[in-house]
Amino acid sequence: MKILILSGVLAATFVNAQQPTSAQTIGLEKVLTEMAGCANAFVASLDEKQKEQACFPFQSEQRENWGFVPRARKGLPLEQLNDQQTVLVRGLLKTALSDPGLKKVDTIMALEAFLGEIEKRPEFRNPKAYFTSIFGKPSGTGSWAWRFEGHHLSLNYTVVEGKTVSVTPSFFAANPSEIVIEHKMKGTRPLHAEEDLARALALTLKESGKDVVFSEKPPGEILTSEDRKVKQLDLVGIQASEMTAAQQTALMELIAEYANRHRKELADKDLKNIKADMTNLRFGWAGSLKRGEPYYYRIQGTAFLVEVANVQNKGNHIHAVWRDSANDFGRDLLSDHVGHDH
């Protein structure tokens, strides 16, 4: 099994669909219009039963019912789509994700097939059990949302009046974080940059005498879990204002690894907001700084939060989440819009 080859229709029409090229910078509003067009094309391809599964009112409580563990989910799974519909889902993902972001998604899904093979539980580790949900009427000028989600992956997008978008909660994970056994996929490590850049920054800070390691024992999981709304966590580690210029650059490079999972038009908006909050950013590490051993780290600003835990399976099962305590599911954007209109 090649690294990104799944089974059946998925292999033929999803992973092996024509690979995207780097999107031109065409402006955020145009990207969101393109996103709405792809979502509408997907909805139009569905029969009535499929629409009942995939489509929800914008105000539905399901819009914030996100999660990353194996469980029953609402939405329409890939295994119930025909070839054309699977390609349309791929097209929708391409409106939000960059090439590297899509590659991470493909690999995370391929790891489900790998686990199904290794554990001999293909019915449980199903690479087609990833669900698409549409909330509201996709529009180039209105407010609506969509989600693509399954085990170890949750992508949530909320578009407000066709002008701006929230991309959080955004959850990527990998089990194993690195395939080390003899197998055709040996060496697969989808979140390697998120780990390597963070460890390099932590080591640099420690070597310069800064107390970046706030605990020798990492927590067993990301602290925000599947919370629909997150609060500020304890302030730990080193504040960006205490870092050298080179260390601040390394911190922003790490943050950009998360933001650049998305197309440039989406990523630039978020990076601009995070840079504006630079003096409030903090980076802290818990656990071992040796590769292959359990660790946890987080980056936190006024509202921005990245949490990463690689603790399970003796440090070979990574969970990484990007949250916005003010604007997950577009809460702040929607509130501003309502206040402006009234």
pLDDT tens digits along 279-331: 999 999 999 999 999 999 999 999 999 999 999 999 999 999 999 999 999 99
Alpha-carbon span 77 to 29, nearest angstrom? 29
Q: CA 117 to CA 8: how far, in whole Å?
A: 15
**Cis check: omega of the bond before 169, within 30 degrees of 0:** yes
- On the question of pLDDT at 26 being above 80, the answer is no
Q: What is the dihedral of CA 254, 255, 261, 266, to 10 degrees?
A: -150
CA distance 108 to 298: 21
Residue-wise pLDDT for 84-119, tens only, equals 999 999 999 999 999 999 999 999 999 999 999 999
- State the chain's mean pLDDT as an integer: 92
Identify the band that residue 337 occupies on the pLDDT scale cut at 50, 70 and 90: low
113, 125 contact by CB (below 8 A) = yes
Is the whole model's pTM more than 0.85, yes or no?
yes
Q: Is the pLDDT of residue 131 over 60?
A: yes
Instruction: Give CA–CA dist 300/196, Å, rounded.
Output: 19
